[in-house]
A and B are shown apart, each in its own frame.
Chain A
């Protein structure tokens, strides 16, 4: 290796050999470090932590098809919502455990993703058209849900309260650490899946297709199949967030399941942290989660100078939006992406 290093001209950027093992170890260490967190944090902060994890799962899922796959999705709420509604419908109507419901939700979301992907890709929608069509699909689901008795119309569903707390039905005392641990478990699995995905044939094909679809086809990569499988995986992961969200907040309705704000929540963390990186979505979620809380507090008890903000809504989204714009303009690779680039070039 060293002889080759000397021959190489200084211009060519050298990529480190992918270190999947290292990423997985970091993940394991982080997990161990985070487990005792709910026992240390006050309940209010715990709620923020859970929100961060939910964002992280959504964003990790989004990142798979949009970051690694290059297929920008503006309608990821479709999968979140399908996960939410599938699990809650099974629970309310058939008493099925939300764990099973979660798996069922993943299947439904993946299937929907396959359909959307197949339709969009078969007709070669790209770029803005593709993003618009994903948005349209999510909106259609929202409208259908609002107008459909099958899923309680705009009223949505309440998760029925149980007499005893149970792991099988994912219900615990309010503010119990179990919620955090479950969310942590799901997030860790999601990130591990994304690491393993990149290491797999499918992941490597996906990146090749993203970089140059025609060249990938020319060397034998089955482009359509690769894209559709990637979308399905992306959908399945995001749907998990929807199912858990419903259990944690005990409620879901069409707006909260399929609304555009949900789609944006799936996009933002990845953009802030770094689209197309492993750790970007999680880092972005870490930034976004507390922001929500800070702005809510600001609105409840604003300092003297900003007293007109008292009790008004909208500040949190304003902060999100400003952050989004600034990051895209100034730091398009996101926080993690930028740091990674710096380290690489040193």
Chain B
């Protein structure tokens, strides 16, 4: 049985279908990429899976358990964490505290939370900012903080919302290596929405392509990027990633 199973989810806003009958499954330990041109509904789909919005129809199952319509904090407790595209740190407290709060929310005791948080902070590579006020971090640091917070919840599935956006190429590589290491060493299953094709090609085991709210196709990165329909859907798009 798949770890994450999204079945026939749809969601409309004021009569406009943002997500239309989308289904996909993710096996444990796999990395699933989701791509699509602007306005394809990627972020809406993401939010539907993460529990930030309720689907009009369809279900989301995590490890066999129906989590459709769960409030975000319940989704987190069920074992699925997410990051935010626009970084949302707890600005008034330190990086360590940000991660410690996430750990405690996931059930770690107050006693152990700081230590666990320090470990995660180290793992993610932001130890140098451990005691800094999180609102003062640069973008690269904030992105990793998002990751650290999500990891502190010890998730089975990690949902990443354009985790590489806003990073310059030299900052991206370490993050990609980190994600690979997470899958390899910690067995974390990843689902990520991304625009940057190099990342998608490199990281994904399987890619889902959305267009106008519907699934256009899905398959391996090579299959998908050589599919003429996918190329056409992207035609006329501003290239978001000049270097490949």
Interface residue ranges, A against B (CB under 8 Å): 4, 7-8, 11-15, 17, 200-201, 204-205, 207-208, 210-212, 214-223
A204→B101 contact, CB < 8 A: yes
Minimal beta-carbon separation of A70 from chain B (angstroms): 10
Which chain B residues border A219 with CB–CB below 8 Å? 73, 76, 81, 101-102, 105-106, 149-150, 152-153
Nearest CB on B from A116, distance (A): 22
Give the total of B residues in contact with A, Cβ under 8 Å. Answer: 39
Fill in one digit per residue for B72-97: 1 if any A CB lies within 8 Å of its CB, else 0. 11001100011010001111111001
B binding-site residues for A, Cβ under 8 Å: 50, 52, 71-73, 76-77, 81-82, 84, 88-94, 97-98, 100-102, 104-106, 110, 127-133, 136-137, 149-150, 152-153
B90 lies within 8 A of A205 (CB) = no
Closest to B90 in A: A211
> Contact at B89–A212, with CB atoms within 8 Å?
yes
Residue numbers in B under 8 Å from A13 (CB-CB): 132-133, 136
Contact B90 A207 (CB under 8 A): yes
Which of A7, A15, A17 contacts B128 (CB under 8 A)?
A7
> Does B132 contact A15, Cβ atoms closer than 8 Å?
yes
Q: Is the CB of A15 within 8 A of B150?
A: no
Whether A12 and B133, one on each chain, are in contact in the complex, defined by CB atoms closer than 8 angstroms, is yes
Question: In whole Å, how far is A209's beta carbon from the nearest beta carbon of chain B?
Answer: 9
Cα distance, A45 to B33, chains bound together (Å): 71
Chain A residues positioned under 8 Å from B130 (CB to CB): 4
Question: Could you tell me if A220 and B105 are in contact, using CB atoms closer than 8 angstroms?
Answer: yes
Distance in angstroms from B197 CB to nearest chain A CB is 27
Can you list 12 pairs linking A and B with CB atoms under 8 Å apart? Answer: A12-B137, A13-B132, A201-B104, A208-B101, A212-B88, A214-B52, A214-B84, A218-B84, A219-B81, A219-B149, A219-B150, A219-B152
Decide: A216 and B101 in contact? CB cutoff 8 A. yes
Contact A8 B90 (CB under 8 A): no
Inter-chain CA distance A14–B132, complex, in Å, is 4
Known contacts: A215-B90, A219-B150. The answer to whether A14 contacts B131 by CB under 8 A is yes
Interchain CA distance A11-B137 in the complex, whole Å? 9
- Docked Cα-Cα span, A55 to B73, in Å, equals 37
CB distance from B181 to the nearest CB of A (A): 21
- B91 lies within 8 A of A211 (CB): yes
Q: With A12-B137, A207-B90 as given contacts, are A214 and B131 in contact (CB-CB < 8 Å)?
A: no
B50 adjacent to A215 (CB under 8 Å): no
Q: What residues of A have a CB within 8 angstroms of the CB of B90 in the complex?
A: 207-208, 211-212, 215-216
**Given the complex, which residues of B lie within 8 Å of A222, measured CB to CB?**
73, 105
Determine which residue in A207, A210, A218, A221 has the highest number of CB atoms from chain B within 10 A of its CB, and name it. A218
Residues of A close to B81: CB separation below 8 A: 218-219
Evaluate contact between A211 and B92: CB separation under 8 angstroms: yes
Q: In the bound complex, do residue B132 and residue A220 qualify as a contact, i.e. CB atoms below 8 Å apart?
A: no
Contact A8 B101 (CB under 8 A): no
Please indicate the chain A residues that have their CB under 8 angstroms from the CB of B92 in the complex.
207, 210-211
Whether A218 contacts B132 by the Cβ 8 Å rule is: no
CB proximity of A342 to chain B, nearest CB, Å: 15
CB distance from A280 to the nearest CB of B (A): 15
Please indicate which of the listed interface residues B101, B104, B150 has the most CB atoms of chain A within 10 Å of its own CB. B101
Partner of B97, one of A7, A14, A204, A220: A204
B131 touches A218 (CB 8 A): no
Q: Which residue of A lies closest to B105 (CB)?
A: A220
In chain B, what residue has the closest Cβ to A214? Answer: B88
Interface contacts beyond A12-B132, A218-B73, A219-B106: sample of 11 additional A-B pairs, CB < 8 Å, sorted by A: A8-B132, A12-B137, A13-B132, A201-B110, A211-B90, A215-B90, A216-B90, A218-B81, A219-B101, A219-B105, A220-B73
Q: Determine whether the beta carbon of B102 is less than 8 Å from that of A11.
A: no
Contact B104 A204 (CB under 8 A): yes
Q: Does the CB pair A218–B136 fall under 8 Å?
A: no
The 5 closest A-B pairs by CB, nearest first: A220-B76, A220-B105, A12-B132, A219-B102, A215-B88
Hey, which chain B residues are within 8 Å of A208, CB to CB? 90, 93, 98, 101
Specify the chain A residue showing the minimal Cβ separation from B131.
Answer: A14
Complex Cα distance, B101 from A15, in Å, reads 16
Q: Which residues of A contact B137 (CB under 8 A)?
A: 12
Residues of B with C-beta under 8 A to A201:
104, 110
Distance between Cα atoms of A222 and B89 in the complex (Å):
17
Chain A nearest CB, measured from B67 CB (Å)? 13
Residue among A12, A205, A218 making CB contact with B104, cutoff 8 Å = A205
Residues in A whose Cβ lies below 8 Å from that of B136: 11-13
Q: Across the interface, which residues of A come within 8 angstroms of B129, CB to CB? A: 8, 12
CB of A329, distance to nearest CB on chain B (Å): 22
B113 to chain A, nearest CB (A): 9
A221 to B133, CA, bound (A): 20
Report which residue of A12, A15, A219 has the largest number of chain B beta carbons within 10 angstroms of its beta carbon.
A219
Q: A12-B132, A13-B133 are in contact. Are A217 and B73 (CB under 8 A)?
A: yes
**What's the minimum C-beta distance from A170 to chain B, rounded to whole angstroms?**
36
Bound Cα distance A211, B50 (Å) = 21
